[in-house]
Every structure is written in C-alpha cells, then in structure tokens.
Amino acid sequence: MPAFPLSLLDLVSPYQLLGTTLGDWQAALGAIYVDRYEATGAAEGTTIRGVAKFAVSARPVLDLPNARLTVTATAGGLHPQDDPTRRDPWIDIQDTQIAFELFVPRAGSPIIAAATGVAATTTDVFNVLDTLPIDMPVSDYPGAQFTLDMLLTTVVLRPPMLKGAKLRESDGLLERDPANTVVSFTLPRLRMQLSQDAAGVLAFNLLSLGATSLDDGSDLGTAELITMTPPYAFIGDSNVVGFGFRSAVLDLSNGYTPPEVLAQFGYDENWTGLYLPVVRLFVAPHGMNDIAVSAGASNLLIGLGNTPGITGDWMRISACTRAVSPRSRASASSPRSCAATAARPWRTARTT
C-alpha cells in the first residue's frame, strides 16, 4: 500500500500537457485510490499493475454513448437514473475495487518537441534525454502517451426503456412490478481502456465483456448476460409489450455483431443491442382490455442507442379473453379462457 494517498489520476498526470485536462475522466480517476501495485521496466516502457479502490462516496457510472466514467457523488452532476429524458443505457459499477494496468511507452511527444518558448535550461535537459529529431522506436524524450486498462468484476447494465414487471398468478399475464421498477442486467467482468496518444488525444475503448483477467486478449464488446432483474419487463412506458427470457447476448460494439445476428437478420456490424435466442413475449393491445396475447419467440433483437427497433420470429401464440356479458365491462377478476395455436414463424416489422 502506498505511504500516502495515491490515485489513478496521480499516475497519469505526468503525461498531461500543460493547460489540458482529462475531461470527465479527471474527476473519475481522482476518485480511484491505489491500494497496492508493482512496477516493472523494460526496453519498450514502464508497466504499473495493481488494485485500486473507489472513494467511499463515489457512485461510479460508465456512460457508454459518451465514452466516459463518472462518479457523480464526488464530482456533482445528474445521475443517469435521475434523468427522465435519457434513452441510452448506462452501466452502474458496484465494485469496491478495480484491477488496473498502466503502460507508458518510451516514446517522445512531437507536440512537446515542437513547443515554443521553452527555457534554454529545459531544452538542455531534454537534449540530454534525447536530442532532436526524436530517435525511434525508443526514446527517453518527454512523452504524453499512456494506456490504462481497467478490469471491473461487478457491473450492471441499466436500459431506461425497460420497466420492471411480474407474472400474475391468476392468469399468467404480465403486470407492473412496483417493488422492482428499474430493470437491470448483471454482466460478467468488463475490461475497458483509456489511452492517450503522443499528441495528447484521449480515446476510450470497451475491450471485453466477460474478460477473465487484464491479460485477456478478447477484443469483442459482446457478452453472455447472466441475469435480468426482475425476470420480466415491459418495453417502454406502456404495458402493451413485455417479455421474459432465460439467456441473452449483449452487443455494445460498433465494429462487431454476433454471427447469429448477422446471419438471421442481415444487420451490419454497427448494430448494438440485446439478442435473445428464446424469449416469452406478452402483448396487451391498447383499447382491448379483454384480450391479451402470450407468445413464444425466437431470435428477438432489441436495438439500443443509435440502432433502435424490435424484430423477432414468433413460434407459438396463446390468446386469452375474459368472459363478460354484453352489459358488463371486463375486470381483473373476470374469468379468462385461453387458446394456444402453433404458428408458422413470422417476423415483426422493425420499429423505432
């Protein structure tokens, strides 16, 4: 453990150019404190690996569409869950600690080399480190490059377009679940990377969902989902369409789409969203309070972010109606009759 408080921001600050910041990452890295670490050097550069802990007051959130990690409780600002206009999903980080690896290459920065107004004494020191032009591929001239890999072990995806539901015991249909209004997907380990090039330009990448360690070479933003809580949900603010499922695949990568999706639906690799091989779907049309439909479906796609829409193949449909007299209105206590029909697979139109 360091003898004094040391944050991840302290580790990368030497590679920030004067007058620049890391944007939203500045506060986030400043709220992650190093618990233990080890440093190794090689001809290519220096590597620092260790374990860090989030500040006690932090509420870490990984905002995927905006490529940033925020800790709203320490830095201020609006938590995504408190933004009623938000449509994009976000990831709540429930870890108390995070594994990290910082690599700093022995590479000089052309931005620093081209700087004007540098004191002669400073220039003399730089020339001792490496005279211009900067020798490649290895140089001890001051640089700005770094790569920070982070591994999270307990992450939860929260899509705001889904609303918690439960299965009604009386008739097997869906209704809102007041005890679980927020839907969440528990994900496997997540590996992400923050890097800065020689010109001081930041880049964020989601390297792997389901990574086993920092050394995992997987480069796909795709994961097998573990659980959905609650196990049923409505899509959107109405109670018209809901679903439940056993397993699913989450694709958040703009450069990769699972082969199953490409083969069956013809989407390109920019598609992002949830793919559910087998799902149970519930439909209760507006204005038809005495009719509800439960259907078994396969290959259901729920688009997220810039690729919204729902498509799927329905395999079996069960329609339920309440028995009512002409003079009375249907109520929740009215008896139901249901008929199941085996249907030939068909595909919904894509919706937005």
In angstroms, the Cα distances linking 165 to 84, 239, 274, 299, 308 are 19, 9, 18, 21, 21
Tokens encoding 115? 């700087």
Among 339, 304, 305, 303, which Cα is nearest to 321's?
Answer: 339
pLDDT at 287: 53
The H or E element spanning position 294 is: strand 291-303
Phi and psi dihedrals of 315, rounded to 5? -105, -35
pTM of the model: 0.62
| C-alpha angle 208-209-215 in degrees, rounded to nearest 5 | 45
pLDDT at 47: 96
pLDDT per residue rounded down to tens, the chain (352 residues): 565 689 999 999 988 877 778 887 888 898 899 999 999 999 889 999 999 988 877 778 877 667 778 776 444 456 676 777 777 777 777 666 789 999 999 888 877 777 756 676 777 777 777 776 666 678 788 888 999 999 887 778 788 888 999 988 877 778 899 999 888 887 777 788 999 988 888 888 877 666 666 776 554 556 566 678 898 999 888 888 888 887 777 776 666 677 777 776 567 777 777 788 888 888 887 655 556 677 777 788 877 766 777 777 766 556 565 444 433 333 334 444 555 544 444 344 343 3
Rg of the chain in Å (alpha carbons): 26
The H or E element spanning position 138 is: none
pLDDT at 11: 94
| Residue appearing with tokens 């397993």 | 247
| C-alpha angle 113-12-126 in degrees, rounded to nearest 5 | 25
**Distance between CA atoms of 350 and 90, rounded to whole angstroms?**
24
